[in-house]
Amino acid sequence: MPFACIYAVCGVTNPEDALAACRSGASLIGVICVEGSKRYVTADQAKSIVEAVRNFGERDARVEIPSLSDASSASPVAALIRKARALENACRRPLVVGVFQNADVEDIEAVSQDVGLDLVQLHGDEGMGACSKCGVPAIRVVHIEATTEKIVASDSAEKIVALLTADPLAILLDTSVQGVQGGTGATFDWDVAKAIQNLGLPVIVAGGLNAENIEEVVSDVKPWGVDVSSGVEASPGRKDVKEVQAFVSSARKAAEEASKGF
């Protein structure tokens, strides 16, 4: 799989920031559909972001990502590799992903249809199986606890891969801090991401990323995708356009450099 070909800018709350991310080369524009979040958007706010992203991509409808229903007969890793390629193709024009946490799948589907989301991201304890019941493709977040203790990355990677099913569209790794799932601004042990990819599974890496460390992440981990939110903000829910541009530009540059050795 290519390095860092998915660039996600999450926690977008307004059309202006969405367009700035699109112009910077973002693949996914993330809107937070979790009440209580500092970056929560209402249905009407989400619709305005969807409209802006669609206009930028010169489209008037949701991008249909192939379901690859026959992938369920393959191993989870093989199925996720095929789905990753499908997402790459769909991301030739930026997509809008709605982030949910511990919501009923019926509610997720209803919001997705009402707002016009292209896909969703499950950020709670929904489980792998919920990803095939949301009405649109779903990225499954796997939370990795931030710790100062020495861990064996390969052991953690094998445990994560063993829990996979073919239901998600893709896997995103994010940091958990004392039970707080995502949005912490903290990083996890990137060796875990490297070990998972060494097992053949392409992953999107999130958690504490910013324009200053993204080059290191891409060069070292060589992730399939990267996701940023608070690391490119002027304030919660408001993006710093220059930081967004620097993040995507640095990620792309590092990916190109890393690819030269392969």
Q: For 104-113, how does the pLDDT look when each residue is reduced to its tens digit (9 = 90+)?
A: 999 999 999 9
CB 121 within 8 A of CB 143: no
Q: Is 81 domain-assigned?
A: yes
pLDDT score of 80:
94
Residue 151 has pLDDT above 90, yes or no: no
pLDDT, mean of residues 210-219 = 96
| Model confidence band, residue 177 (pLDDT cutoffs 50, 70, 90) | low
**Predicted TM-score (pTM) of this structure:** 0.93
CATH number at residue 212: 3.20.20.70
Residue 223 has pLDDT above 70, yes or no: yes
Q: Is 209 domain-assigned?
A: yes
Give dist(CA 168, CA 130) in Å, integer.
Answer: 8
pLDDT, mean of residues 47-69 = 92
Q: Is 227 domain-assigned?
A: yes
Write the CA distances from 143 to 39, 40, 214, integer angstroms. 20, 20, 19
Question: What is the 3 state secondary structure string of 144-197?
Answer: EECCCCCCCHHHHHHHHHHCCCCCCCEEEEEEEECCEECCCCCCCCHHHHHHHH
| Model confidence band, residue 149 (pLDDT cutoffs 50, 70, 90) | low
Q: Is 1 domain-assigned?
A: no
pLDDT score of 148:
53
Give dist(CA 245, CA 262) in Å, integer.
Answer: 27
Q: Is 93 domain-assigned?
A: yes
| Model confidence band, residue 68 (pLDDT cutoffs 50, 70, 90) | low
Write the CA distances from 246 to 25, 231, 238, 254, integer angstroms. 11, 11, 16, 12
- Read off the DSSP letter of residue 26: -
Residue 49 has pLDDT above 90, yes or no: yes
Tens digits of per-residue pLDDT, 82-116?
999 999 999 999 999 999 999 999 999 999 999 99
Give dist(CA 7, CA 211) in Å, integer.
Answer: 12
CB 39 within 8 A of CB 237: yes
Q: Crossing angle for the helix pair 214-221 and 241-259, nearest 10 degrees?
A: 20
The residue segments making up the domain with residue 240 are: 6-259
- Other Cβ atoms less than 10 A from the Cβ of 70: the count is 9
State the total domains in the chain: 1
